[in-house]
């Protein structure tokens, strides 16, 4: 039996090889996975032209996935340097990489990335449009925007961020409800500007059916972008954000009618006490579609530390239903991240995702922590290093300050609770001031 997309296959009762791989990775019954794919509650972004892909599932009941952003820009257009960052990200076993390239040899970088990456690849076609056509934003036609999306799909990208929810009606809500930070989404601001400059409807909204044609042909998952995501905690959960979310819910149903897989993108900057409610609102308004969040960043005062502000929000968001976390690095709001920034962002986001999986009782999520706790009780340093989320840093810290006694560290020495409780539980004496018997 033939099928067009993973959703189409699931609805026809077909178990694809991608479904089998994801089910095995997740320790999930493939029939349950198939049912949730058919309902749109899980997606498997897997472009038919991405031959090196090791598919992953995103959605209800699955491990929280993380994404890394990279790509070339006018100020930093070194393709080889970005490919080196991509290789490093893959070495950290990230599930997704988004190519946010906006200048120069974008197709060269994109095709090399797709060819080398077992992780799913995402893009934002509107970022590429100005450089692709060498035209000012105002002069790009609606057809040309769609053609860039088609090119990305042909190149093998697995999901595309499309800001189709910032239509004329959403824009009117934005104008009537003033914000401190306006529209902070790069793609959203470009589309809003195009609409204002041309007095036209958003081309991705007006020609949404043609966009769905492209996605259906290549099985590209639509990541419906949050043009009106809040860029400060002052603007969160406002009329613009909610209006756009309502539109995205309607667009989700239209995509599902064509068997096109959908994720919804979300905030943004947001105070901690609003995060859980926002997860519920998205799942309600967007019919259970997987939720992909940037952060949320829980305070605006920490440039240089936004991997931390984001990890706090990400852990809360994912434990309350978000399915996919976009990493944030210490360089957020400041510059293009370098390799060390990227590593810091990946580790922080992985911690947030894993903490959320524990809270969500994702099968097997607590086993890692259990094994680490066993190794700590045994003071098995090598085992602790092998289980650490960043073994290199753990080894470095230990090596920099070695204790007199191997069964302790320089924080506690012979007062180490683990060491002493092991001795007491074994009926042995504890000598803190003298050598052991």
Q: Are residues 326 and 415 in the same domain?
A: no
pLDDT in tens, 34-53: 999 999 999 999 999 999 99
The alpha helices in 199-331, defined as continuous H runs, are: 203-206, 208-218, 239-257, 272-285, 306-319
Q: Out of 312, 333, 359, pick the residue that ends a domain.
A: 359
Q: Are residues 355 and 381 in the same domain?
A: no
Q: Produce one character per residue of 237-258: b if its CB has 16 or more CB atoms within 10 Å, e if not.
A: bbebbebbbbbbbebbeebbeb
| pLDDT string in tens for the chain (437-residue length) | 799 999 999 999 999 999 999 999 999 999 999 999 999 999 999 999 999 999 999 999 999 999 999 988 887 778 888 999 999 999 999 999 999 998 888 999 999 999 999 999 999 999 999 888 989 999 999 999 999 999 999 999 999 999 999 999 999 999 999 999 999 999 999 999 999 999 999 999 999 999 999 999 999 999 999 999 999 999 999 999 999 999 999 999 999 999 999 999 999 999 999 999 999 999 999 999 999 999 999 999 999 999 999 999 999 999 999 999 999 999 999 998 999 999 999 999 999 999 999 999 999 999 999 999 999 999 999 999 999 999 999 999 999 998 887 888 888 888 888 988 988 899 988 887 777 65
Q: Are residues 281 and 415 in the same domain?
A: no
CB atoms near residue 428 (< 10 Å): 12
Q: Which residues are annotated as a binding site for Zn(2+)?
A: 269, 333
CA distances from 128 to 83, 115, 133, 148 (A): 18, 19, 9, 7
Question: Which run of H or E residues covers position 258?
Answer: none
Q: Are residues 110 and 148 in the same domain?
A: yes
Mean pLDDT of the chain: 95
pLDDT in tens, 243-297: 999 999 999 999 999 999 999 999 999 999 999 999 999 999 999 999 999 999 9
Give the tokens for residue 60: 């209800």
Q: Which residues are annotated as a binding site for [4Fe-4S] cluster?
A: 409, 412, 416
- Residue 199 belongs to domain spanning: 47-359
Q: Out of 342, 359, 376, pick the residue that ends a domain.
A: 359
Q: Which residues are annotated as a binding site for substrate?
A: 69, 98, 127, 163, 185-187, 226-229, 265, 292
Q: Which residues are annotated as a binding site?
A: 69, 98, 127, 163, 185-187, 226-229, 265, 269, 292, 333, 409, 412, 416
Residue 231 domain-assigned (yes or no): yes
Q: Are residues 122 and 227 in the same domain?
A: yes
**What CATH number is associated with residue 100?**
3.20.20.540
Q: Are residues 335 and 417 in the same domain?
A: no
């Amino acid at each position: 039996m033939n099928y067009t997309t993973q959703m189409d296959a699931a609805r026809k009762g077909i178990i694809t090889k991608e479904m089998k791989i994801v089910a095995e990775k997740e320790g999930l019954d493939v029939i349950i996975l198939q049912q949730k794919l058919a309902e749109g509650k899980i997606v498997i972004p897997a472009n038919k032209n991405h031959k090196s892909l090791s598919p992953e599932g995103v959605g209800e009941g699955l491990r929280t996935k993380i994404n890394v952003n990279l790509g070339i820009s006018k100020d930093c257009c070194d393709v080889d340097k970005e490919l080196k960052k991509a290789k490093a990200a893959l070495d950290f076993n990230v599930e997704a990489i988004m190519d946010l390239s906006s200048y120069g040899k974008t197709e060269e970088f994109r095709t090399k990335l797709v060819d080398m990456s077992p992780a799913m690849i995402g893009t934002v076609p509107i970022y590429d449009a100005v450089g692709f056509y060498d035209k000012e934003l105002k002069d790009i036609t609606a057809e040309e925007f769609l053609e860039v999306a088609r090119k990305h799909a042909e190149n093998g990208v697995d999901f595309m961020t499309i800001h189709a929810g910032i239509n004329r009606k959403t824009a009117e809500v934005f104008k009537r409800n003033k914000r401190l930070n306006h529209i902070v989404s790069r793609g959203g601001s470009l589309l809003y500007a195009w609409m204002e400059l041309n007095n036209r409807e958003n081309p991705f909204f007006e020609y949404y059916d043609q966009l769905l044609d492209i996605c259906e042909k290549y099985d590209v998952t639509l990541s419906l972008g949050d043009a009106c995501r809040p860029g400060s905690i002052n603007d969160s959960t406002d009329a613009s954000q909610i209006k756009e979310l309502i539109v995205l819910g309607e667009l989700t149903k239209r995509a599902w009618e064509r068997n096109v897989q959908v994720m919804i993108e979300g905030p943004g900057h947001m105070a901690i006490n609003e995060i859980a409610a926002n997860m519920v609102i998205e799942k309600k308004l967007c019919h259970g579609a997987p939720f992909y969040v940037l952060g949320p960043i829980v305070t605006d005062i920490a440039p240089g530390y936004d991997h931390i502000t984001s990890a706090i929000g990400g852990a809360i968001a994912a434990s309350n239903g978000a399915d996919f976390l976009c990493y944030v690095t210490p360089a957020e709001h400041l510059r293009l991240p370098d390799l060390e920034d990227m590593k810091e962002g990946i580790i922080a986001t992985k911690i947030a995702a894993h903490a959320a999986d524990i809270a969500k009782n994702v099968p097997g999520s607590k086993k890692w922590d259990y094994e680490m706790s066993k190794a700590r009780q045994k003071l098995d340093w090598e085992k602790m290093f092998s289980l650490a989320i960043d073994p290199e840093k753990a080894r470095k810290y230990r090596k920099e300050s070695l204790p007199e006694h191997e069964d302790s560290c320089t924080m506690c020495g012979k007062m180490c609770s683990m060491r002493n409780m092991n001795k007491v539980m074994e009926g042995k004496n504890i000598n803190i001031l003298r050598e052991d018997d």
